Amino acid sequence: MTSSVSRLQRLTDRISPKKEGDAAPATSAPEPQVHTERVAHLPSVSSQKPKDKIGGYLRDHDAPHAAGRRAAVSDKLLIAVAGVSLAINVVQAVAIMQLIPLYRVVPFFVTWSDKSDQVVRVEPPTGNLKSLAILEEANVREYVTMRNTITDDPQRTIYQWGTIVRLMSSKPVYDQFLAETKPVYDALKERRFTRSVSLKSVLKIQNGYWQVEFDVIDRRIGSGLTDGGDERRTFVAQLRAQNVEQSISYDNRFLNPLGFTVTAYTVASKKD
């Protein structure tokens, strides 16, 4: 009986929890121990942030697939440049082939001569120039004055008749002028007279047609302005002129820059 109670007491002690202060029985079996290990979770590679300043350049660009992509872009660029260059060469070749029939050899000579022997081409002005009428009237005044003036210096008279009057006259008008003026010049030279001109009016009748009224004063060489014996007469000249292209010498390029040319000239004495 007593042994049965002791077994029941031991079974109850095993099942019931122990209280603080109770001594553990010497005959109790050792409890099994459970060993636990702490596992450190490592962050994934994608979640790691770079700590340098380059960032993800090396991961995204310095890789085998990036090198292949750069090579493909370079190849496309070279192909495009080669295509454009080929197209330009084809266009240039076609243009040269079209210009070949127009090619011809033109001989020319280069001469090293004095400027006085060179020829200058004078081209008349074009367009509606407001000052052109004033310049034409100035040429008309100069032409009539130089044509009818006779000085006591033969060289000066020859210069004004042989350059200014000649450059401003067509060949028929100039030949007629020489034929009419030579007897007058010889008579004045024999009588030792000079002839000066005083313009009274210049009228433009229409485009290219002019009428000039002027006085000629014949004065004896050596006489004063107050001496008598001067002969004054009034003339009316009608002329037709136009600006034409001329080829003149280099020294005379400023004498007639407009190409002013008288193609017809008539003069008559005005009666009182």
CATH number where 138 lies: 3.10.450.230
Looking at the domain assignment, is residue 28 inside a domain? no
Q: With respect to residue 48, please indicate whether it lies within any of the assigned structural domains.
A: no
Instruction: Provide the domain count of the chain.
Output: 1
Write the pLDDT tens digit of every residue in 215-271.
999 888 766 555 556 788 999 999 999 998 888 887 787 888 888 999 999 999 987
Q: What is the pLDDT of residues 141-176, one digit of tens each?
A: 999 999 999 888 888 888 899 999 999 999 999 999
Tell me if 263 sits within 8 A of 241, measured CB to CB: yes
pLDDT at 39 over 50: no
Task: Flag whether pLDDT at 77 surpasses 80.
Answer: yes
Residue 18 clears pLDDT 90, i.e. is over it: no
> Residue 41: inside a domain, yes or no?
no
User: Is residue 255 in some structural domain?
Assistant: yes
Within-domain flag for 82: no
Q: Is the pTM of this model over 0.75?
A: no
- Is residue 85 very low, low, confident or very high in pLDDT (cuts 50, 70, 90)? very high
Q: Quick count: other Cβ atoms within 10 Å of Cβ 140?
A: 23
Quick check: is 192 in a domain?
A: yes
Residue 214 lies in a domain: yes
Residue 129 lies inside a defined structural domain of this protein: yes
Name the residue range of residue 241's domain.
117-269
